[in-house]
Amino acid sequence: MATKEFKAESKRLLEMMIHSIYTHKEIFLRELISNASDAIDKLYFKSLTDDKVGLGKNDFAIEIKADKDNRTLTISDNGIGMTEEELENNLGTIANSGSLKFKTENKLDEESQIIGQFGVGFYSAFMVAKKVTVVSKAYGSDKAFMWESEGVDGYTITECEKDTAGTVITLELLEDTEDEKYSDFLEQYKIQSLVKKYSDYIRFPIKMAVTKSRPIENKDTDENAEPKYEDFIEVETLNSMVPIWKKNKSELKDEDYNSFYREKFFDYSAPLKHMHVKNEGTATYNALLYIPSKAPHDYYTKEFEKGLQLYSNGVLIMDKCSDLLPDYFSFVKGLVDSEDLSLNISREMLQHDRQLKIIAKSLEKTIKNELTKMLKNDRENYEKFFKEFGLQVKFGVYDNFGLNKDNLKDLIMFVSSAEKKLTTLDEYVSRMREDQQYIYYASGESIARIEQLPQTELVKDKGYEILYFTDNVDEFAIRILGEYKEKKFKSVSADDLGLESDEKKEEIKAKEEENADLFKTLTENLNGKVSKVRLSSRLKSHPVCITSEGEISLEMEKVLNAMPSDQKVKAQRVLEINPDHPIFEKLNNLYANDKDKLGKYAELLYNQALLIEGLPIENPSEFANLICELM
């Protein structure tokens, strides 16, 4: 029989297992028990609707056997089992396994830490075993197969005998060395404590025949005789079988919640927050929700799937129930267990399930409240949260034409000019000056860039705070919001900033009228590139800037045009000129004496304004040539 080779990644992971440090090795038992429990879950689920399974809830169990003479440890389950093909696919390669997914997302140099904190699946058996044998019979199949491997060299699969469906995994433990006593794993107390530590909540009994001792009844009534003991063997269930979410909060420590999270949701970092909900009333359910501390690498892509695990009375019925979470809280991980849901409900039926809708609404409230609480009492963590997931929440404000904007507006933050720190809208408004009418904002690709924008000069000069919009969605979200606490939002590039005195406006208007011909000529020179050239009341030191008129701002133009659509939009651009800058004088001069040169200046100033705004100039080489020419 030919030995098959492991796939390359599997080989790498295996090698890593074999060389991991001793203290981490004990988690192999947890991994094998989890797999056994998953396999039982699958068959148990079937048994609820299929009498042919022939097993009731109390018949399912995981069994552990330690054989000191042969140095073997055996973990068996009467779960769904594996076919020959599944043995090949599931154990010959780790491509399907959670472990590999994790591996590729994280660097291998943190290996040993990873192994310690996080599940690494079936392969962890090789941390303690020199040989692993898996005998398995799939439910509904009449053949059983044996998978055997001594590590990196490969594995074999042969047909064998097994009466009932399920899997038996036998580990031939490695020889003890000076520092590593693998034989510990054959000790009863060790196994008992490992199960308690890692697998207590497993819903099926983990049984082991344990040796106990009891006093032998004293037949002759000599009261002074030494009591005698005898050993006897009894099958004991090692785990309490209560899932963590059904336990009382008072029994659980942060650490319990965190380690459950890491194992269950394959996250290497501890979550930022957990929420343990026990709800009774219109919907009865237990839920355990987590806010991760880091966004998954695919979070902001189409590949990301939101959802919570859904249990019906302790039985997993769906791994990612997306209807339980609104998109704007899609970052939440966790599970919901409810007695009110029917077990054999299909995905399609679930979508219309009234009960599920009630649960989803109630969970949404829980999450919102938790975030609000965090914002109030735990600012540091809230900001951490917002840096990872704030974009999603802001998107939620904008999404569905603002359907949820009022629900979310107090959760969003922006960096503001005041301290260059994140601020909420509420905080901004509470700091507004008495005479300040608007909430000002400026958009750009980075904070540094926005700070340089000429348009911000006047607002800053007035001592007003500006919100810095650096995410694409920001301006869209704010436009949908329209106002906050009756204060309207105003872009620093807006036509009327509400800052100029009437006198100043009059003065500018008069000047514009005076020079109407100059502006007309400049606009003509720029030939369709701008809809208007005018004098600016917002510029202090800069000569020119680009703003826009109408519905679409320059920032929105950038964003909309970056989207995959044939229809390109164009903001109506306005070139503003600083009337107090010497360049204005110069333009006037040229208008009187050299119209040809005026045209070139117009071109130059327009391009300069584009550059400052972070917009591409239409013809860079022409621009460069023009500069040289004028120099």
What is the closest distance, in whole angstroms, from the C-beta atom of residue 164 to ligand ADP in the complex? Answer: 13
195 versus 439: smaller Cβ distance to ligand ADP? 195
Is 36 among the residues that bind ligand ADP (CB under 6 A)?
yes
Considering the rule CB under 6 A, would residue 84 count as an interface residue with ligand ADP? no
Nearer to ligand ADP, 134 or 310 (CB): 134
- Which CB sits closer to ligand ADP, 126 or 311? 126
Q: How far is the CB of 100 from ligand ADP (least distance, A)?
A: 8
Q: Based on CB atoms, which residue is closest to ligand ADP, 238 or 411?
A: 238
With contacts defined by CB under 6 A, name the span among 32-40, 416-424, 447-455, 595-603 that binds ligand ADP.
32-40
Give the position of tokens 């994140």. 422
- Figure out which of the listed residues 33, 39, 146, 609 binds ligand ADP, where binding follows CB under 6 A: 39
- Rg of the chain taking only CA atoms, in angstroms: 35
Q: Among 72-80, 355-363, 461-469, 543-551, which window interacts with ligand ADP (CB under 6 A)?
A: 72-80
* C-alpha to C-alpha distance for 91 and 89, rounded to whole angstroms: 6
Residues with Cβ within 8 Å of 263's Cβ and at least 6 positions away in sequence, in order, are 30, 34, 118, 119
Q: Which residue is nearest to ligand ADP (CB)?
A: 121
Name which of 305 and 506 has its Cβ closer to ligand ADP. Answer: 305
140 binds ligand ADP (CB under 6 A): no
Maximum distance among all alpha carbons in the chain? 134
Query: By C-beta, is 204 or 591 nearer to ligand ADP?
Result: 204
Q: How far apart are the C-alpha atoms of 514 and 588, rounded to whole Å?
A: 11
Closest contact distance (angstroms) between CB of 316 and ligand ADP is 14
Among 27, 28, 79, 291, binds ligand ADP (CB under 6 A): 79
Chain centre distance of CA 132: 36
* Cβ count near 597 (within 10 Å): 16
Three-state secondary structure string covering 544-583: EEEEEECCCCHHHHHHHHHCCCCCCCCCEEEEEECCCCHH
Sheet holding 62-67, edge to edge: 155-160, 144-149, 129-137, 166-173, 72-77, 62-67, 206-216, 228-237
**Which one, 43 or 530, has the nearer CB to ligand ADP?**
43
Read off the DSSP letter of residue 109: G
Nearest in space to 618 (alpha carbons), one of 628, 607, 629, 626: 607
- Of 82, 425, 545, 571, the residue at the interface with ligand ADP (CB under 6 A) is 82
Task: Give the per-residue contact string, 555-584, with ligand ADP (x = CB under 6 A; - = no).
Answer: ------------------------------
- Alpha-carbon distances, residue 622 vs 208, 224, 538, 600, 619 (angstroms): 83, 113, 29, 11, 5
Name the DSSP class of 263. Answer: H
Cα 559 from Cα 473, distance rounded (Å): 8
Site map (CB under 6 A) of ligand ADP, residues 99-128, x = contact: x---------------------xxx-----
Q: Closest CB to ligand ADP among 100 and 450?
A: 100
Tokens of 153: 């060299």
State how far the Cα of 353 lies from the Cα of 294, in Å rounded to an integer: 32
Q: Tell me the C-alpha to C-alpha distance, in Å, between residue 379 and each of 310, 331, 412, 413.
A: 31, 19, 13, 12
Binding segment toward ligand ADP, per CB under 6 A, in 93-101, 344-352, 434-442, 575-583:
93-101
Query: Minimum distance from CB of 27 to ligand ADP (Å)?
Result: 12
The minimum distance between CB 330 and ligand ADP, in angstroms, equals 23
CB closer to ligand ADP, 167 vs 537:
167
Q: Measured from the CB atom, is 28 or 382 closer to ligand ADP?
A: 28
Nearer residue to ligand ADP within complex by CB, 10 or 330:
10
Contact 442, 469 (CB under 8 A): yes
Span near ligand ADP by CB under 6 A; candidates 31-39, 253-261, 451-459, 597-605: 31-39
Which of the stretches 34-42, 52-60, 280-288, 308-316 binds ligand ADP when contact is defined by CB under 6 A? 34-42
What CA–CA distance (Å, rounded) separates 87 from 251? 39
Shortest Cβ 39–ligand ADP spacing (Å): 3
DSSP string over 490-535: EETTSS--S-S-HHHHHHHHHHHHHTHHHHHHHHHHTTTS-SEEEE
DSSP 8-state assignment for residue 421: S
Q: What letter does residue 597 receive in the DSSP assignment?
A: H
* Shortest separation between residue 32's beta carbon and ligand ADP, angstroms: 7
Residue 155 touches ligand ADP, criterion: CB under 6 A: no
Is 98 one of the binding residues for ligand ADP (CB under 6 A)? yes
* Minimum distance of ligand ADP from residue 64's CB (angstroms): 13
Give residue 140's Cα distance to chain centre.
39
34 close to 120: Cβ distance less than 8 angstroms: no
**Number of residues forming the site for ligand ADP (CB under 6 A):** 20
Among 14, 94, 165, 191, binds ligand ADP (CB under 6 A): 94
Q: Taking the C-alpha atoms of 244, 249, 255 and 261 in order, what is their torsion angle to the nearest 10 degrees?
A: 40
When the beta carbons of 36 and 546 are compared against ligand ADP, the nearer one is: 36
- 409/425 Cα distance (integer angstroms): 8
Any contact of residue 151 with ligand ADP (CB under 6 A)?
Answer: no
Q: Determine, following the binding rule CB under 6 A, whether residue 35 of this chain makes contact with ligand ADP.
A: yes
Interatomic CA distance for residues 627 and 621, integer angstroms: 10
The residue (of 201 and 623) whose beta carbon lies closer to ligand ADP is 201
Rank residues 99 and 423 by Cβ distance to ligand ADP and give the closer one: 99
Applying CB under 6 A, among 26, 41, 77, 457 the residue interacting with ligand ADP is 77
Q: Which residues bind ligand ADP (CB under 6 A)?
A: 31, 35-36, 39, 77, 79-82, 90-91, 94, 96-99, 121-123, 167
